[in-house]
Chains A and B, each alone.
Chain A
Amino acid sequence: MKKTLAVKVDDLTVAYNYKPVLWDIDLEIPEGVLMAIVGPNGAGKSTLIKAILGILKPIAGSVSIYGKSYKKQRKLVAYVPQKGSVDWDFPTTALDVVMMGTYGTLGWIKRPGQKEKKAALEALEKVGMLPFKNRQISQLSGGQQQRIFLARALVQNASIYFMDEPFQGVDASTEIAIINILKALRKAGKTVIVVHHDLQTVPEYFDWVTFLNVKKIATGPVKDIFNDDNLTKTYGINYKVSIQE
């Protein structure tokens, strides 16, 4: 069955000061998968996402979204950065942050209005944060902050979602809430790509996985490629995996 390709990456290479962080990455991500990107620290997982989204400049390679360049397809893509990449002491409320998700469609200068506010409130509701809409973001817990970030991406109504370690440092109930939202996105035909730090939960949460360690080790359905062989190739130690059916 030939699926539509949501994301295609060719020969992507990123280097810092002549040191390769990503080397010659070829990746095809079909539409509608919920995919984990895993690898050890320094493997280039965050870098991969940032290079695809144009936040970092690669020294070689190209990225296409549904066959066209990423620049033309921005409206189809939403990004959820790492929680830690932002100063949460910034003077703003939860609702305000979620409304930032509407800024892309508004474009330059135009102000967010009632329509945008409504969309933001709906997104807050979806992640269970509506009671906190006027809360100053520094007063939110880690899990709550993560939900706000997710709501901001949901507002964009994108087809493809890139998330960088969304489960890092969140409480158990937030983790469950988030994975349920991601699964609902997949069910709706969206493509969700997640840099994931916890190997334990890969088989349970995701249907596709990419093993990364500067180079792409393997990519494909979890049931096919999440095995001892690939784990050892990626992490360098003898991993044994058993998947509960």
Chain B
Amino acid sequence: MRNDKTRLKTIELKEYIELLFTDYTLRTITLGTAILGAVTGMLGSFAVLRKQSLLGDAISHAALPGIAIAFLITGAKDTNTLLFGALVSGLIGTFWIRGIVTKTHLKSDTALGLILSVFFGFGMMLLTFIQKQPNANQAGLDKYLFGQAATLVESDVWMMTIVTGICLIIMLTFWKEFKILLFDADYTKTLGFNTKTIDVLITSFIVLAIVLGLQTVGVVLMSAMLLAPAAASRQWTNSLSKMVFLAAIFGAFSGVFGTAVSASQNNLPTGPVIVIVAGVFVLFSFIFSPKRGLLFKQIRFVKNRRDLELHKTLAFMYHIAETHDNISHPHTIKILNNFQGYTKRTLQKLVDRGFVELDGNMWHLTEEGFKTASNLYNQQNVSNE
């Protein structure tokens, strides 16, 4: 982080928001990381649903040699040149991955691993070679490894905004085509859609988003920005549109919070902090989401177990009551001790629900209780449907 930022220590929230409006650097970085988070979150949803999660990682690692070569050829270090090199290199890597999978027996994870490591190794080799050159201009290329958000300028943010805007328009226009291709590619072909076109469109946008993010989060960690927001948002909804929207929100907030956290401390790099914040969103979602989260699954499990005990006790009482003409025939509580699962608490719960009435140490089933008990297993079947 630049020197002015290292002077900011603990920042109050209100002061921070004021700073956002007044401090050009902070505003630019916050906006840039927010937009980046939003677009990678959106596109990451598609990657995750296509089971191509690691493709993002392979592409970002494959972009490294492109950055080095762009510098070697032009001698220029400006962002646009270098990112263009990254784009070309990333696209080449993508095509080669596809080529390996279709033309050899190797599966996609092998192809991904190969391209990722070979391209990255080649890129590192080039970077080291560049460092050792007598030319003093080469310093700073390695910032693309982990990103350096502090170097974002307004034009970068505009670039990201434009790309995000185009991406959004294309996504909304071809929403149903994306949805059906992601869900059932074979079926989509039979309907007459050119699946290759849609496929290339999705992949190209993913590559574009990755390249845009290299400046902020860097080659090594970029894949997290694709995956984490989408993985988190999946836990909260069963609707594709909500999932994509939520992923954009999570991504954007990761950018904003990550920037805020790293701005308020000395020596914290923005890129990795953003990634950690995104990871926290994922962890939180895994545990606390209502339908799929671990916490609520556990609560439902315990509740189901308690309900089951209630049902079994009620069924036992039903069998006893059945044998009499009058279902309200009272019985001693002692009989219930024959039933293994019987507890006083269960009995009290049955009374609370109006299924059983107590009279001293005698109990009898109510109308309600009898009816419920006789329909117990039918009801369970219906509710499971």
- The judgment on whether A and B are partners is yes
Give residues in A with beta carbon < 8 Å to B. 17, 50, 53-55, 74, 77-79, 81, 85-87, 90-93, 97, 100, 103-104, 106, 108-109, 111-112, 131, 136, 152
Partner of A81, one of B177, B184, B193, B243: B184
Partner of A74, one of B174, B186, B192, B243: B192
Is B238 located at the chain interface by the 8 A CB criterion?
A: yes
Is B237 located at the chain interface by the 8 A CB criterion?
A: yes
Partner of B186, one of A79, A87, A109, A111: A79
- Mark out the residues of chain B between 10 and 47 whose CB falls within 8 Å of any chain A CB in the assembled complex: none
Question: A97 contacts which chain B residues (CB < 8 A)?
Answer: 183
Q: How far is the CA of A79 from the CA of B187 in the complex (A)?
A: 7
- Mark out the residues of chain B between 206 and 243 whose CB falls within 8 Å of any chain A CB in the assembled complex: 234, 237-240, 242-243
Is B92 located at the chain interface by the 8 A CB criterion?
A: no
A-B contact pairs, 9 of them (CB 8 A): A55-B190, A86-B184, A91-B234, A91-B237, A91-B243, A100-B180, A103-B176, A108-B177, A136-B238
Closest Cβ–Cβ distance, residue B181 to chain A (whole Å): 10
Closest Cβ–Cβ distance, residue B178 to chain A (whole Å): 11
Measured CB to CB, the nearest residue on chain B to A141 is B385
Measured CB to CB, the nearest residue on chain A to B241 is A91
Closest Cβ–Cβ distance, residue B99 to chain A (whole Å): 16
**Cβ contact within 8 Å between B239 and A79:** no
> Do most interface residues of chain B lie in helix, strand or loop, or is the interface mixed?
helix
**Cβ contact within 8 Å between B180 and A91:** no
Measured CB to CB, the nearest residue on chain A to B175 is A111
**Cβ contact within 8 Å between B190 and A91:** no
Given contacts A91-B243, A92-B239, contact A74 B183 (CB under 8 A): no
Question: B175 contacts which chain A residues (CB < 8 A)?
Answer: 111
**Cβ contact within 8 Å between B238 and A108:** no
**Cβ contact within 8 Å between B234 and A100:** no
Interface bracket on B: 20 to 34
Question: B182 contacts which chain A residues (CB < 8 A)?
Answer: 90
Is B155 located at the chain interface by the 8 A CB criterion?
A: no
Q: How far is the CA of A109 from the CA of B175 in the complex (A)?
A: 8
Given contacts A91-B238, A136-B238, contact A54 B190 (CB under 8 A): yes
Question: B385 contacts which chain A residues (CB < 8 A)?
Answer: 131
Partner of B174, one of A79, A92, A109: A109
Is B312 located at the chain interface by the 8 A CB criterion?
A: no
Tell me which of A81, A85, A90, A111 has the highest count of chain B C-beta atoms within 10 A of its own C-beta.
A90
Closest Cβ–Cβ distance, residue A239 to chain B (whole Å): 32
Q: How far is the CA of A53 from the CA of B184 in the complex (A)?
A: 15
Is B51 located at the chain interface by the 8 A CB criterion?
A: yes
Partner of A53, one of B51, B190, B243: B190
Question: A90 contacts which chain B residues (CB < 8 A)?
Answer: 49, 182-183, 240
Question: B193 contacts which chain A residues (CB < 8 A)?
Answer: 103, 108
Q: How far is the CA of A109 from the CA of B170 in the complex (A)?
A: 10
Contact with A along B161-179 (1 / 0, CB 8 A): 0000000000001111101
**Cβ contact within 8 Å between B176 and A54:** no
Q: How far is the CA of A87 from the CA of B185 in the complex (A)?
A: 11
Measured CB to CB, the nearest residue on chain A to B240 is A91
Contact with A along B311-340 (1 / 0, CB 8 A): 000000000000000000000000000000
Shortest Cβ-Cβ A-B pairs, 7 listed: A104-B191, A136-B238, A79-B190, A74-B192, A91-B238, A91-B240, A55-B186
With A74-B190, A92-B183, A131-B385 known, 15 other A-B pairs at CB within 8 A are A53-B189, A54-B189, A54-B190, A55-B186, A74-B191, A81-B186, A91-B234, A91-B239, A91-B240, A92-B239, A93-B238, A93-B239, A103-B180, A108-B193, A109-B177
Question: B187 contacts which chain A residues (CB < 8 A)?
Answer: 79, 81, 100, 152
Measured CB to CB, the nearest residue on chain B to A106 is B176
Q: How far is the CA of A27 from the CA of B43 in the complex (A)?
A: 44
Question: B173 contacts which chain A residues (CB < 8 A)?
Answer: 109
Contact with A along B52-63 (1 / 0, CB 8 A): 000000000000
